[in-house]
Structure 1
Amino acid sequence: MQIEQARIDDADAVASVLQEAAQWLSNTGRPLWIPSEVNHERVLRDIEAGVFFAARNGDDVIGAMRFELEDLLFWPEIEAGTSAFVHKLAVRRSWAGNGVSTALLTFARDRARGLECRHLRLDCVADRQALRAIYERFGFVLHSYVQKGARSFARYELAVTD
């Protein structure tokens, strides 16, 4: 498996990974992303901005995530340049349980460290216990909860400096 910055010609594949994850979550009664958040145009715009990374098996995109250096929606109080943020981490269902999410998180942690950030941060819907367990096993620590609309989100952080 290789992880690298997504290319323009990856937009369909990255959007497909995100849409597949969104559909699976919806089918299991846990809707998360609305179609406009994971459509081709939005993904292409984010790839052009350099924030999407793709996990590959050969030529196939098997996972993806957004890696950003600010998050004004969920972490507005964080000083610029001190943290990196992971969003929209998704894995093809056929690759679930094969370490793709761990590889993406490892890549994000190492990239944040290389950029001299102190923390890697992320958020997830607070009632998603299985997802939260993945983050906690990786080493993320619960920071706090925030309310956005009708949903409560758990905010996690991971210290990436020694």
Structure 2
Amino acid sequence: MNIQEARPSDAPMIASVLQDAARWLADGGRALWSGAEIGQGRVLQDTTAGLFHVAHDGEQMVGVMKLELEDAYFWPEVLPGTSAFIHKLAIRRAWVKKGVSTELLTYAGVRAQQLERAYLRLDCVADRQGLRNLYEDFGFALHSVVQKGATSFARYELPTAK
């Protein structure tokens, strides 16, 4: 599996992966991302800014994630320059439970170290136990649960030092 920073030309496929994941979640009664968040225009903007990273198996894009260096919305108390933040981790359905998430999380940890960020942080809807288990099994520790509007989010962190 090859993971790398996405190119702007990858934006349509990244949007497709995100939209497929969003559709699957919505079909299960667990809607997550708005169309504006994962539309091609926004994805192109974020990809051009170097935020998306993609996992390929051969020529096929099998997973994506957004790796940011700030997150004032979910982590307002975190000092600038101390953390990297994972958002919009999505795996093609055919590749779920085949290690793609673990590969992307490992890659994010290495990138955070390279960028001299002491922590890798992320959040997820608090009632998504399967996702929380994935993060905890990887080594993330629950930092806290925060309320944003009507939704509770579990915040996780992982030190990047070896």
SS at match of 1:101: helix
Cα distance in 2, alignment partners of residues 79 and 37 from structure 1: 25
The one-letter amino acid paired with 1:124 is C
Partner amino acid, structure 1, of 2:92: R
SS in structure 2 at match of 1:121 = strand
What stretches of structure 1 of length at least 5 have no aligned partner?
none
Q: TM-score, normalised by structure 1?
A: 0.98
Equivalent residue number for residue 115 of structure 1: 115
* Offset at residue 29 of structure 1 (A): 1.0
Partner of 2:86: 86
CA-to-partner distance for each residue in 1:78-119, whole Å, 9 max, x for gaps? 111110000000000011111000000000001101111110
Secondary structure (helix, strand or coil) at the match of 2:20 reads: helix
Q: 1:155 offset after TM fit, Å?
A: 0.3
Deviation at 1:57, TM superposition (A): 1.1
The reply on whether 1:51 has 2:57 as its aligned counterpart is no
Deviation at 1:25, TM superposition (A): 0.4
1:5-154 alignment, distance < 5 Å = 5-154=5-154
**Residue 87 of structure 2: SS of its match in structure 1?**
strand
TM-score with structure 2 length normalisation?
A: 0.98
How many residues get paired?
A: 162
Measured after TM superposition, the shift of residue 14 of structure 1 is 0.4
Q: For residue 19 of structure 1, report the CA deviation from its aligned partner.
A: 0.3
**Partners of 1:9 and 1:69 in 2: CA distance:** 22
Tell me by how many angstroms 1:58 deviates.
1.5
Distance across 2 between alignment mates of 1:12 and 1:60:
13
RMSD: 0.7
Between the aligned partners of 2:59 and 2:7, the Cα distance in structure 1 is 12
**For 1:50 and 1:63, how far apart are their aligned partners in 2?**
16
